[in-house]
Structure 1
Amino acid sequence: ATARYLAALAGTATVALVGAFRRWIGDVGALVAAALVAISPSVLYFSRFGREDSLMGLLEVALLLVAMSWLTRPSRWHPLAAGALLAAAFATKETTFIVGAVTASYLVALTVAQAWRRRGRAAAPPLTVVRALRGPGGRWWLLGAGAFALVFSALFSVGFTEPGGIVDGAVDGIDYWLSQQPVNRGSMPWPFYVVLLVAYEWPIVLLALGGLVRVARRPTPALGLVAWTAAGNLVVYSWASERFPWLVVHPLLPMLLLAGLAAQRLWDERGTTVLPVAIGAALVLVILGTNAVRVVYREPSNPRQLLSAVQTTDAVPALRDRVESIAAAAPPDAPPRIIVDTTDSATWPWAWYLRDLPVAYVDLAADPGAATGADVVIAMAPNVPALVAPPEGWRAQPFDHRAWWLPDWDHAGAGDWLRWFATRETFNPTGATEGVLLERVGIPGGASSS
């Protein structure tokens, strides 16, 4: 659980930070957006997940806030804040390059559009981006560059103890990301994020579309950036061939702000009664809350949930308890000999669960003899026939180590997807890596002696 504290804290901070957007999306809009961040199934799931995407989401929201403030009213503090946040984002996740590319493309598009509309007007005010760039002044731009360099260097050099990390941080992240594009890690096609959003977040998507219409009808540079970021992130992440469910957070977060903007408009146009708005809000809460409870709390490792990707199954903690009971029943001077198979990266999560026990980690596919004489062996199923059983024999308990579902995108029809949306019933089999817990018969604390 401690490994997920940072993700949980970042998710909580994101909820609070959304309140700062009320200047652009209104008081009610900011409150609704914050509530949606708190109950969004995807954001909530990955705020309880031992990955960096929750923290990266917080940094993206903070950078978006700074950029919107900068476009609205340039100030001297903007380069400092942007530089420090951007450096922290680079140290968190290589998708910062996407953040930079999407934002830069918007600034270029905004400048071109404004210049086109103002052509021939001699007294036209300065372009928004030009005004924003000039606003802080050269001295504060230098300070902002210094803030970026300081934070970037401190983080990538581990507090200036590993200077070589600075160069690695500048090139290794993007090199690795680019190298993964031909591989298609995740094995999902380009509509993957659209499917996730429709399956888990469809009330937010509908509200976000309403917010997009609001921005199109009454555009401002700041709100235009939100809309551009939402659409741009969805396009870029769908285009990039490395597709995993945790990446859906990045297009979703700006959509949540657009949803808040739509909620503000609905509130402003409510008329004399709030009943329709209250009913709509209750329906959104019930739908999102039901989806969130199901995937986050009831079925977080169920492969039928596409948010789960590949997860350790619920059988593993129970087997951990079994191994710990065997170790606890052994004499202090004669602990059991425990072998864990490392084939197919099966070391994890045993390396964490059994960290306090005397465990040997061996690739039993390459060295099956290493398990000879062991009291407990956690092996991958294909390796078991090659293992030498003790004279007493083994008690074997098969289990699924990890489980996943790769939808058959090429052959699934509309009815298959509708059934999955409604019931999470898969239309092709799920997959798993199969393992076997082997206990020496008669070992103290084992199943046969309990």
Structure 2
Amino acid sequence: MTAADITQKFRTFLSIERIFLLLFLIAFIARFAVLDLKLFHHDEAVHAWFSWRLLTTGSYTYDPVYHGPFLYYVTAGMFSLFGDSDLVGRIIPALAGTLMVPLVYPVYRLGYISGRQAVAAALFLAVSPDMVYFSRFLRNDIFIAFFTLLLLVAALAWLERGDRKYLFLGTAAAALGMCAKENMPLVLAIFVLYGAYAAWRGAIRLPPRWKTDLLMAAVLGAGIMAVLYSSFFQAPDVLLDGWLRAIEHWTAMHQQQRLGGPPYFYLMLFGLYELPLLLLACIALVQFVLPPKPADGAAPGGIDAVFNRLIRVGMPSAPDRQEEFFRFCIIWMLGSLMLYAYIGEKVPWLILHQLLPLVFVAVYRMDRDRWKSVLAVIAAVFLAGMTLHVAFTPADVNEPIVQVQNSEELRTIMAAIDGADRAIITTDSYWPLPWYYRGQTNSHLIYLQPGTGIDTLLARNASVIIAHDTESYPLIPGYTKTTLRQSYWFSVHDNKDRLLEYYVTREGRVGSVNWDLFTRTGSA
């Protein structure tokens, strides 16, 4: 058997389907391995506690501060089946992140990307640090990313096959996304506006019954949203004013810039965690918009030609579905980057909604430019290494991706609480304790106001006293004082003069909230 025969047999064995199965397994392991390695983030603890309360009391009412109802109902459902714990709370986000990888396959089967492009995109989704980290995280954004990709696949299938079941699937994805978080309308706006423009200029052909199909889909989507937002019609008033309260709240947050940052905030995160993908996407953008050199050797058409390549003014005689797909992905990516650069709330998980279209843009022409395939392999190695660092380091990591993460030192504090017959908490910043000490497990906890007098504390005869270090006591007679981190974050302000050094070494100053742990002398 010749080397050529062996190569051919290997290629036959290593089919696209088998490669996708392998990538699915990689994504599954990356998202589910030691899923409870890290303590809940502050927001995770809040989400889990509301889900537990929904399960135990049946009480839930939509509040835009905490986003949509989808997360709470699915998490409460998981708690009812498998028990309430950190690990169980993260299963559905991990599953959503894992299922994004095989969702690339239908895009390939429908003919919008090649096999090599599909494999590269799926590989990037499988090992991306941000995708993996926030798939192991009880927040809404991985749900939005999953529903966005499912909507894309369903919309393409509906356009290609004309079967309304795909439209209904996409509608369900869009409606559940709307029930997950208030930024789903941004995704829908980009999709709908581009779809309408592409249909107007003849780049896509709508099915014959598209008006009837869309009307039925609108009814389905409205029904799904009405059921969840009204808490299964227990709070029908939310349907009247919930949307208005959401607009008012998030408009106020944008103006307040409670968690603000510069417009280039997400570009810095891309540079830290997704640099190879950012570079590939920039190369792809240049390749796409630069017009090909005319056959007669004349000079290209300049900025007008670049704009026409991007917007594609005019009716194409024979639309190229792959070119049109990448044109859409570029508009989607650029629109998302500009929207989130403008929005005042700058938090790391919002990068997912910019990263998803960027992944597809990054694989442009990867089937024609072999050197890009080499770059893709190098990129995957870089991404996997970064993922191991941010997601699987069993200690506090000085990274912006963690936002404000509960410190591993909190385990020492909780161990002291567990061993105490009575524990006093004298701080208003007590999360995530309500989650970790819920139900009967909080019977030995006493919450007092910050600055409570020492005589009052001593009268309670507690084994453990916890205070915020800025509201603490120099000493409490009969107690040993230890200062530990409760939560921590990467401090841009404290590292602004050494960002390049930080980028290379990942060593820098850390901001933190600290608790003073007072342990009664002689107590275990």
Equivalent in the alignment of 1:354? 437
Contact 2:271–2:278 (Cα < 8 Å) also in 1: yes
Quote how far apart the aligned CAs of 1:109 are: 5.0
Aligned partner (choices 162, 167, 178) of residue 251 of structure 2: 178
* Alignment equivalent of 1:102, drawn from 184, 190, 209: 190
Structure 2 distance, partners of 1:264, 1:157, is 48
Q: Deviations over 1:182-201 (max 9, x none)?
A: 11132321111000001110
Question: Which deviates more from structure 2 when the two are superposed, residues 289-298 or residues 138-147?
Answer: 138-147
Contact 1:71–1:222 (Cα < 8 Å) also in 2: no
Partner residue of 1:5? 91
Q: 1:312 maps to what in 2?
A: 406
Which residue of the partner structure matches residue 121 of structure 1?
Answer: none
Does 1:157 pair with 2:157?
Answer: no
Q: What is the CA deviation profile of residues 217-275 of structure 1, one whole-angstrom value per residue up to 9, with x for unaligned ones?
A: 67743332211111111110011000100100110011112223343333xxx4xxxxx
**Per-residue Cα deviation, 1:365-392 (whole angstroms, up to 9, x for no partner):** 26446533222112111222288x35xx
For 2:395 and 2:113, the matched residues in 1 are separated by 33
TM-score scaled to structure 1, two decimals?
0.81
Task: Give the superposed CA RMSD.
Answer: 2.7
Q: Is the 8 A contact 1:193 1:245 kept in 2?
A: yes
Q: Distance in 2 between matches of 1:55 and 1:221?
A: 26
Alignment of 1:62-141 (within 5 A): 62-70=150-158, 74-107=162-195, 110=198, 114=201, 127-128=202-203, 131-132=205-206, 135-141=208-214
Identity %: 27
Is 1:434 aligned to residue 520 of structure 2?
A: no
Tell me, in whole angstroms, the C-alpha distance in 1 between the residues paired with 2:329 and 2:417.
Answer: 51
- For 1:279-290, what aligned pairs fall within 5 Å after superposition? 279-290=374-385
Provide the residue aligned with 2:64 in structure 1: none
Quick check: 1:301–1:308 contact (8 Å CA) kept in 2?
no
1:221 aligns with 2:324: yes
Q: Deviations over 1:18-43 (max 9, x none)?
A: 22221212112112111111100011
- After TM superposition, list the pairs within 5 Å mapping 1:406-421 onto structure 2: 406-408=491-493, 412=496, 416-421=498-503
- Following superposition of structure 1 onto structure 2, how do residues 3-402 of structure 1 map, counting pairs within 5 Å? 3-22=89-108, 23-70=111-158, 74-107=162-195, 110=198, 114=201, 127-128=202-203, 131-132=205-206, 135-213=208-286, 215-216=288-289, 220-266=323-369, 270=370, 279-298=374-393, 301-302=396-397, 304-324=398-418, 326-327=419-420, 336-343=421-428, 345=429, 347-355=430-438, 356-365=441-450, 367-368=452-453, 371-372=457-458, 373=460, 374-385=462-473, 389=476, 393-402=478-487
TM-score w.r.t. the length of structure 2 is 0.70
SS of match in other structure, 1:385: coil
Structure 2's unaligned 5+ residue stretches are: 1-86, 292-319
Contact 1:199 1:421 in 2 (8 A): yes
| Cα separation, 2, equivalents of 1:368 and 1:184 | 36
Q: Would the aligned equivalents of 1:29 and 1:261 in 2 still touch at CA under 8 Å?
A: yes
Q: Distance in 2 between matches of 1:424 and 1:109?
A: 45
Deviation at 1:408, TM superposition (A): 3.1
Cα distance in structure 2, aligned partners of 1:309 and 1:249:
14
2:510 aligned with 1:422, yes or no? no
SS for the counterpart of 1:55 is: helix
> Which whole-Å deviations, capped at 9, do the CAs of 1:309-351 have from their partners, x for residues lacking one?
1111110012212332x24xxxxxxxx12112332x2x21222
Would the aligned equivalents of 1:102 and 1:229 in 2 still touch at CA under 8 Å?
yes
Cα offset for 1:111? 6.1
Cα distance in structure 1, aligned partners of 2:515 and 2:129: 31
Say whether the 8 Å CA contact 1:68–1:223 is kept in structure 2: no
Give 1:166 deviation, angstroms.
2.6
What does the per-residue CA deviation read over 1:77-98, in whole Å, with 9 as the maximum and x for residues that have no partner?
3542333222111110000121
Does the CA-based 8 Å contact 1:21-1:65 persist in structure 2? Answer: yes
Runs of 5+ consecutive residues of structure 1 not aligned to the other structure: 115-126, 271-275, 328-335
C-alpha spacing 1:79/1:361, structure 2 compared with 1 (3 Å): farther
Larger mean CA deviation between 172-181 and 67-76 belongs to: 67-76
**Per-residue deviation at 1:401?**
1.1
Q: Amino acid of the residue matched to residue 402 of structure 1?
A: S
